[in-house]
Structures are given as structure tokens and as C-alpha cells.
């Protein structure tokens, strides 16, 4: 008999989730920074963070593939070691890029942690493994509530094969037609229907807020699947999203 995937803990539905932690540049808290993570904990919010891979195969808490937007330096995250990345200050802050292990030590189970594995393939394809392994390794002795997700179903499946104890989900979207997208048009059309949910052992989705009325979301919600959403930026949008979503990921206002 096939074992059911780990369910999403209730803690992920009990409080709003701060997108890339509770960041505020004016207060010196860049996104995905230690300062933003500590602020979210102090405010009692859940936390969403992103992971990229360093040159020496460490999971780093950072959103972009490239360093430019968030640090002012050039080059890909994967071209630098974890130690080098830790020495690169985030813009508008006074600290370097943290490792996932560091962030786990800071959170220490006090709030739920929603972790997005950034696509390492470049086109939502099957070139996965090192980031998923580094993430699973960092989580081995962690006892707090953690859920993992990715836009790339191959990444979710790869992590699930390495770690059967944590719930996994899919980050989902409308995947609208975009001639500048690196994702092939056929892949976007495929992904928008969320066909891999059962195959990868997912137990939740985090869906693009403006597309919550999609039939794919409705089908999963009718099954009792928890629906999170991204990214809410006002109380008005929160009220609208909560008509469908079970919880929100938010930024820029006090949810």
C-alpha cells in the first residue's frame, strides 16, 4: 500500500506567512535576511524563504540566481562558495547572505517555515538533485514545522525521495504566455493545470493570488487540499484572496 504524503501542519494555516520574511528596506531588513527573519518571529508570523545553491553545494537563503539586484555585485550565486556569499552584504542591510542551516538555528521551531526550492534547471526540467540534497541534509536534526515547495515538480519529487518526513507542495501559477520566459511554452501550458500534484507526493499548493479562480485550483480545493497563495500586498487583496485561499503569503503591510 502506498504511504500517504506528510500533511501540511495546521500551523501553516493559523497565521499569515511573511514573504521572504518580514522585510523592510527602510528599517534595514532586506528580503531573506536574518534581520527580516527575526522580525517575523517577533511579530508571530510564519516565514517563507527561498533557497539557492552555492558553489560548494550549500543551501543558501537567497531568491535570485544572480547577485546583482540584492547585493550590487555581479555573477551567479552558484559561482561563489557559502563562505564568500556570507561575506557579501545584502543591499540596505549590514549582513551577508545566510545559509539555510543558520536560518534554521535562528527560527528554532518558533514559527512555521515555508521553504521554496528555486528551480536549478532553468526551464523547470529534470536537472535537479544538489540543492535538494543540501536542503535535506540541513533539515536532518530540525524538529520545527517546515514545508518545502518549488515551481519545478522535478525538484519536489527529488526532495521527497530524499526526505519523507516533511510535507512538500507545488508553487503554482497561471503560467501565462510570455515570449521572454525561459520556460518553453509547452511546459507553461502543462504546468498551469497542476498535473503533477499526486505524482510528486504533494500535500498543498501555494498559488498565484491573481489566478486563484482557476479550475486547477478549484479541483484541488474540492479534494480538501490546503491552498496557500502569493503574494498579497494589501488588506483589500487579502480579504479577496481568503475567499478561496486557506492562508496568504504577504509583504509590505501588517497582515
Nearest to 68 by CA among 80, 58, 59, 56: 80
Q: Which residue has the cell 515555508?
A: 114
Whether 110 and 144 have beta carbons less than 8 Å apart is answered as yes
Burial 27-39, CB ≥16 within 10 A → b, else e: eebbbbbbbbbeb
Per-residue pLDDT of the chain (255 residues; tens, 9 = 90+): 467 999 999 999 999 999 999 999 999 999 999 999 999 999 999 999 999 999 999 999 999 999 999 999 999 999 999 999 999 999 999 999 999 999 999 999 999 999 999 999 999 999 999 999 999 999 999 999 999 999 999 999 999 999 999 999 999 999 998 888 989 999 999 999 999 999 999 999 999 999 999 999 999 999 999 999 999 999 999 999 999 999 999 999 999
Distance, in Å, from the CA atom of 60 to the CA atom of 115, rounded to the nearest integer, reads 11
Question: How many CB atoms are closer than 10 A to CB 170?
Answer: 24
Which is it for strands 46-53 and 59-61: parallel, antiparallel or unpaired? antiparallel
**Residue 208 neighbours by CB distance under 10 Å:** 18
pLDDT attached to residue 64? 98
* Residue environment code for 215-229, b if the CB has 16+ CB neighbours within 10 A, otherwise e: ebbeebbeeebbbbb
Calpha distance 153→175 (Å, rounded): 14
3-state secondary structure of 117: strand
Cα–Cα distance for residue pair 145/9, rounded to 1 Å:
7
179: region left, alpha or beta (phi > 0 left; psi from -120 to 50 alpha): alpha
Nearest partner of 87 among 100, 101, 99, 69, judged by Cα: 99
By CB atoms closer than 10 A (0-12, 13-18, 19+), residue 247 is: buried
Beta strands at 46-53 and 17-19: parallel, antiparallel or unpaired: parallel
pTM of the complete model: 0.98
Measure the CA–CA gap between 254 and 238, rounded to whole angstroms: 11
Query: For residue 254, how many other CB atoms are within 10 A of its CB?
Result: 9
Amino acid at each position: 500500500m502506498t504511504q500517504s504524503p506528510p500533511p501540511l501542519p495546521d500551523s501553516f494555516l493559523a497565521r499569515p506567512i511573511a514573504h521572504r520574511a518580514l522585510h523592510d528596506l527602510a528599517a534595514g531588513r532586506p528580503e531573506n535576511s536574518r534581520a527580516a527573519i527575526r522580525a517575523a518571529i517577533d511579530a508571530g508570523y510564519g516565514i517563507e524563504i527561498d533557497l539557492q545553491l552555492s558553489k560548494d553545494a550549500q543551501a543558501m537563503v537567497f531568491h535570485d540566481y544572480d547577485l546583482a539586484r540584492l547585493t550590487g555585485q555581479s555573477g551567479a550565486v552558484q559561482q561563489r562558495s557559502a563562505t564568500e556569499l556570507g561575506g557579501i552584504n545584502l543591499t540596505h542591510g549590514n549582513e551577508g547572505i545566510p545559509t539555510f542551516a543558520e536560518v534554521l538555528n535562528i527560527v528554532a521551531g518558533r514559527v512555521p517555515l515555508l521553504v521554496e526550492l528555486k528551480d536549478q534547471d532553468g526551464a523547470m526540467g529534470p536537472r535537479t538533485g544538489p540543492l535538494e540534497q543540501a536542503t535535506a541534509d540541513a533539515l536532518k536534526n530540525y524538529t520545527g514545522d517546515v514545508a518545502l515547495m518549488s515551481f519545478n515538480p522535478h525538484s519536489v519529487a527529488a526532495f521527497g525521495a530524499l526526505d519523507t518526513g516533511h510535507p512538500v507542495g507545488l508553487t503554482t501559477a497561471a503560467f501565462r504566455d510570455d515570449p521572454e520566459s525561459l520556460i518553453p511554452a509547452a511546459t507553461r501550458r502543462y504546468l498551469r493545470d497542476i498535473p503533477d500534484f499526486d505524482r510528486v507526493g504533494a500535500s498543498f499548493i501555494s498559488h498565484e493570488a491573481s489566478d486563484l479562480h482557476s479550475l486547477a485550483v478549484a479541483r484541488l480545493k474540492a479534494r480538501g487540499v490546503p491552498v496557500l497563495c502569493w503574494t498579497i500586498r494589501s488588506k483589500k487583496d487579502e480579504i479577496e484572496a481568503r475567499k478561496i485561499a486557506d492562508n496568504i503569503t504577504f509583504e509590505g503591510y501588517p497582515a
